[in-house]
Structure 1
């Protein structure tokens, strides 16, 4: 685009896009997402028991969590133990082919753990994996 000024000289408009502010904004957003992503995935704080054999979790599944105070969570949302069976049964998946992860704090009484396992089995889910952490090599067990 060209135009002529009062002196009769023809000038062209500078039509370049300055991408420096765009790069600045994108880098700030990248840093923000890098800092907030681990926080969003943290879930419920649970000290799961340590075992020698641990299988790596490779896919997303339904997770039932029991925290230190024996509170039950389904996918990080608090749930009443009496409603757990109906929530799992209404998930829309075939219970015979559904796998569920149960993670419980190591301080949870066995009775609370058994109640959750019973509610999961009443929903028709038989493929249940219990979440544990590996024992770190080089450390002796403190039991």
Structure 2
């Protein structure tokens, strides 16, 4: 017979076939790629814990830094420090007690405010942050949004 099939017919007993010493890694690679896609899709969704609607902006996105504090204002005007809700007047003392960096600088503070809020409420929170010693505040918006409407001239 062709292709060497007859060499197995010469053996007798149980050892007629040699054990297969190869591992098929294709299913393993398929499963790992599916898990990678799942993590890539779900990781950005886990960033924000408090549901708010951010305004649109054409500004460049901020670089993510490890020493970052997020202040969030939801549509009702409640203020959160990271994921902890703060009572009125508590923001300045909580932010003032944050640990400073090795060079003595305050951590980067980002302010996420719902677009339905009044401008005065957002400025009030920014004033509280200034009173706590924060002189640089990053305002978070949705990147790639539409440009702001300009006033029409008569």
Higher strand share: 1
Instruction: Kindly state the Cα deviation for residue 26 of structure 1 after the two structures are TM-superposed.
Output: 0.5
Taking a change above 3 Å as real, the CA distance of residues 99 and 13 of structure 1, as seen in their structure-2 partners, is same
Match of 2:43 in 1: 37
Q: How does 1:1-143 map to 2 (within 5 A)?
A: 7=13, 12-43=18-49, 44-48=51-55, 54=59, 56-60=61-65, 61-75=68-82, 77-81=83-87, 82-94=89-101, 96-132=105-141, 136=146, 140-141=149-150
Instruction: Kindly state the Cα deviation for residue 141 of structure 1 after the two structures are TM-superposed.
Output: 4.3
SS in 1 for 2:90: helix
- The RMSD of aligned alpha carbons is 3.4
5+ residue gaps, structure 2: 1-10
Give the alignment's TM-score, normalised by structure 2: 0.64
**How many pairs are equivalent?**
135
Instruction: Kindly state the Cα deviation for residue 22 of structure 1 after the two structures are TM-superposed.
Output: 0.8
* Structure with the greater alpha carbon radius of gyration: 2
Instruction: Kindly state the Cα deviation for residue 135 of structure 1 after the two structures are TM-superposed.
Output: 6.3
